[in-house]
Amino acid sequence: MDRKYWIWFSKIKKLTCVQKEKLLNKYGTIENIWNLDVKKLKNETMLSDEEINAIVDKIAREKLEQYEYYMEKNNIKMINIMDDEYPEKLKNIYDKPIVLFTKGNTELLKNISVAMVGCRDCTNYGKKIAQKLAYDLAKENICIVSGLAKGIDKFSHIGALEAKGKTIAVIGNGLDYVYPFENKDLYERIIKNNGLIVTEYIIGTKPEKLNFPARNRIISALSNAVVVVEAKVKSGSLITAEFGLEYGKEILAVPGNIDNLNSQGTNLLIKDGACVVTNYKDVLNSVKW
């Protein structure tokens, strides 16, 4: 029964992670939140009418067993914020995900990890560097965390897999979607090779644009350091690096051609104090493990 409540809670899009955590702290258990009525919520919380209506919405409480069935059939595991298995690295961030949905080896959530991110439309240089750097770090028993996107993410995961190492893909949609679809084989290869796919989004959640900046905070939080391989000045990769700074992670960047747009973001990071990465030893020597 407890599982059903967490599925329901994860479906409430009108509430932020921070609001959900405040409700859990106030009422103690997920079942207590399930049993709240409109009057109690109005008297005891600062929630808007729209947010309260989302909590008590009867339609949102229907057919939850279908979610349970799909998750069981497809080996999707749910880890909630009150579980012992919930990752320590996520516990100290302000807007921690309340529920994680996973496929694969959840033991990797405890592993020493490095986030590797960069341009979707990467250059051949970026592809080569990402794959080699991920390979070498994975050989050192460091888990590579990335976002399963095109470009640098993809080749970072591939590098780790080629080293027979560990990798985690954090995605911005439910585990019933593969996005981008061209990475379906990589998605399956990660799971087959003892890796992990993780998301905070319930099945049925499509890869909407706003999901990806939120996804990036999890990539940063799960990692001991963030390495940006290629990035434009305005990019999701720099958002990931900003989250990393906020969380006290070491930020590292691969320098690139000053005439290439894909290097402007990484070169800017270096000017602002990020550690320069020319090989995997730079990562090993710069990070306080």
Q: Is the pLDDT of residue 116 over 70?
A: yes
Please state the rounded mean pLDDT for residues 245-258: 95
**What pLDDT was estimated at residue 234?**
87
125-155 residue pLDDT tens: 999 999 999 999 999 999 999 999 999 999 9
Tokens of 20: 């959900």
CA 147/CA 243 separation, integer angstroms = 15
H helix or E strand, kind and range, residue 114:
strand 113-117
Please state the rounded mean pLDDT for residues 3-15: 97
Please state the rounded mean pLDDT for residues 249-260: 94
Using N-to-C axis directions, what is the helix angle for 64-73 and 2-10, rounded to 10°? 100
Average model confidence (pLDDT) for the chain? 96
Helix residue spans in the chain (DSSP H): 2-10, 17-27, 30-34, 38-44, 49-56, 64-73, 88-91, 124-139, 152-162, 184-192, 211-221, 236-246, 261-271, 280-286
Q: Residues of the chain with pLDDT > 90: what percent?
A: 96
CA 5/CA 12 separation, integer angstroms = 11
| DSSP for residue 160 | H
With bands split at pLDDT 50, 70 and 90, how would you rate the model's confidence at 167? very high
Please state the rounded mean pLDDT for residues 13-27: 97
The length of the chain in residues reads 289
76-91 residue pLDDT tens: 999 999 999 999 999 9
**What pLDDT was estimated at residue 39?**
97
CA 211/CA 218 separation, integer angstroms = 11
Using N-to-C axis directions, what is the helix angle for 124-139 and 152-162, rounded to 10°? 40
Q: Which residue has the higher pLDDT, 23 or 288?
A: 23
With bands split at pLDDT 50, 70 and 90, how would you rate the model's confidence at 54? very high
Domain ranges of the chain: 2-73, 106-286
Name every residue whose Cβ is closer than 8 Å to that of residue 92 and which is 6 or more positions away in sequence.
247
**What pLDDT was estimated at residue 1?**
61
CA 203/CA 11 separation, integer angstroms = 9
Q: Classify domain 106-286 by CATH number.
A: 3.40.50.450
Evaluate the omega torsion of the peptide bond into residue 207 and state whether it is cis, within 30 degrees of 0: no
**What pLDDT was estimated at residue 289?**
72
189-240 residue pLDDT tens: 999 999 999 999 999 999 999 999 999 999 999 999 999 999 999 888 999 9
Q: Is the pLDDT of residue 62 over 70?
A: yes
CB 231 within 8 A of CB 119: yes
CA 244/CA 227 separation, integer angstroms = 10
CB 163 within 8 A of CB 139: yes
Q: Is the pLDDT of residue 278 over 80?
A: yes
Global pTM? 0.96
